Structure 1
């Protein structure tokens, strides 16, 4: 091998090593002539088009798992929900209490421990008999009950995603990155102050992570399109309270 050929080989090896180092980190730019090679191509679109494509993908998906924190009305909710058009199942944590939500069609169930129900009620104390009856059971929530409106939104895929998957301000692309082994394109609103959204560059352009504007929470999305069962709880594990629940 000539000295010139050896020099070229060394330079090629050095470039490959540098690119491997970059790819193993966060950024994926600068080492490929075409950063969209092998992707779904949404990285070539404008930020507004990426957001639109992502919304379309989310709306058309049969199911999704959503987890993370949402801050609303000054209260932080930690969610771990599986959602689809026919209902949802999962858990919500707020103010130190964790409760289970299950919705099948229009019927919403709420399952919580005695502590949750003990703290319910206008005066912060629920009737002891009610606590004994409701604690640890799947409680049918009447549709006219304030709790139905309050909690059913956490189980409605369309409503929840419509309210979350929106960036505020001027949209812009913030480069190619990697999240949990998947290449993504990041879109920001007002340079991040209006939120950031990581969109998959593999297959369908689903949203994978959302940081909401104003510190209103961070959410991850997974299991897009993967169905899951929804089963009515056993009768001996269900309570039909038959009237307005203690305020929770």
Structure 2
């Protein structure tokens, strides 16, 4: 018995979000050298924010909402680093299911809920759910069936998406007045793109990390949050008693299905 490529939809959605939002909002090249962010131009702040994001060794990524054009609202909560370690969850929205994700080294664990099994694995999902029970599926990170989730867990992949799509400067980038986001002082940068408004809130003190990215308009309503920069990914992994071998569940074949 072979199984589906688990995680394709959340990985594809996250990539689409990054390409549509992050690459557009954090645009430009070069690094400004002025010390006071109040005196920097919108483009200089965007440059610094992009460079800060690309230099991070780890971070917590939070996404929610949808990109319009008939897309399904989804959410992701994930702490990840450049070594490919991660810990978090993905929710496919509209009662389509959610899953916990843990990756450490060469191993990855996934714990789908009942809605995930029902909607994402229509052929045999209920049987799989009965076998796995309240355990994680454990597999090798290089298993092709888990490759989408593995890529989602890699901060290098995320940063490459940002870097590769950082030169789209259509629309005027504007700098707003300093304000607050929670307890943080931020400067908002906005850009109009294809009928939508992109807003990037950049930390106004300390390192100019991007803290929140929103897209609104033209059917889209979504948010990306960035936090816990350079903090370690939790090292705790599911115990053997709480794990079930994914190969035993989906079959020994690792060829695409």
**TM-score, normalised to structure 1's length?**
0.70
Which has the bigger relative contact order, CA under 8 A and spacing at least 6?
2
The answer as to 2:154 corresponding to 1:156 is: yes
Q: Work out whether residues 66 and 81 of structure 1, in 8 Å CA contact, stay in contact via their aligned partners in 2.
A: yes
Q: Name the Cα RMSD after superposition.
A: 3.1
**Structure 1 position 155, deviation (Å):** 1.9
Instruction: Give the number of the structure whose alpha-carbon radius of gyration is greater.
Output: 1
Q: Deviations over 1:20-62 (max 9, x none)?
A: xxxxxxxxxxxxxxxxxxx962332222222221122122223
In 2, Cα distance between the equivalents of 1:239 and 1:174?
51
The answer as to 2:239 corresponding to 1:242 is: no
> How has the CA–CA distance of structure 1 residues 80 and 150 changed in structure 2, closer, same or farther, with 3 Å as cutoff?
same
The answer as to 2:97 corresponding to 1:102 is: no
In 1, Cα distance between the equivalents of 2:108 and 2:127?
22
Choose which of 178, 187, 190 in structure 2 pairs with 1:188: 190
**Structure 1 position 168, deviation (Å):** 5.7
Q: Work out whether residues 111 and 138 of structure 1, in 8 Å CA contact, stay in contact via their aligned partners in 2.
A: yes
In 2, Cα distance between the equivalents of 1:42 and 1:144?
45
1:1-248 paired onto structure 2 within 5 Å: 41-69=36-64, 71=66, 74-86=71-83, 87-95=85-93, 96=95, 97-121=97-121, 124-126=122-124, 128-141=126-139, 143-146=142-145, 148-163=146-161, 169-170=170-171, 171-190=173-192, 193-212=196-215, 215=220, 217-242=222-247, 245=250
Q: Deviations over 1:62-118 (max 9, x none)?
A: 322222315368232211211222311011111322210111134322112334223
Q: Work out whether residues 89 and 99 of structure 2, in 8 Å CA contact, stay in contact via their aligned partners in 1.
A: yes
Q: Which moved more, 1:76-85 or 1:223-232?
A: 223-232
Structure 2: tracts of 5 or more residues without a match: 1-33
Q: Work out whether residues 87 and 234 of structure 2, in 8 Å CA contact, stay in contact via their aligned partners in 1.
A: no
Structure 1: tracts of 5 or more residues without a match: 1-38
SS at match of 1:116: helix
**TM-score, normalised to structure 2's length?**
0.67
In 2, Cα distance between the equivalents of 1:212 and 1:150?
25
> How has the CA–CA distance of structure 1 residues 74 and 66 changed in structure 2, closer, same or farther, with 3 Å as cutoff?
same
**Structure 1 position 184, deviation (Å):** 1.0
**Structure 1 position 128, deviation (Å):** 4.2
